Structure 1
């Protein structure tokens, strides 16, 4: 897929109940290249991303679409596959992520 501007295609959101970070599995389109990557953001940065999506008219129903995997009594992994609805891929402009996260590569 070719994009006009540098952007990020979100594929999966995953986080653990005991963690303060959220893992974003995505495809990054930058300078005409595309590569798969995992980006780790803080819960605060994730909240900002959710607000950015909401402003763009993309509301992720966390109650309905969030899968849970119970590891133990105190540990749960939450995951949401964003590729299920291929009619509406979730692209974010590259500038939406904090600068320190743009340097991470898989």
Structure 2
């Protein structure tokens, strides 16, 4: 195995691990939001902030270690933020419908 092949394997492994962590964060938020009476719960906000901060540090580490291009790291973070925003809005609409 050449050095470039090894680097490509490491890069792909980093992307896979980061995507798995992003999926776990999204699932955690889905479960929390389904079980909370209000989306403005301080606990929800704290967990979301903590999870997103930790994940952004993982992405930053992968970029600094040369395992991930900076543009791809930003893309992964942006995608997770968009998915969470969509989830947040869908659950907000669900709560509005239930209140009517």
User: TM-score, normalised on structure 1?
Assistant: 0.29
Counting helix residues as a fraction of each chain, which structure ranks higher?
Answer: 2
User: TM-score, normalised on structure 2?
Assistant: 0.30
In our comparison, the structure showing a higher alpha carbon Rg is: 2
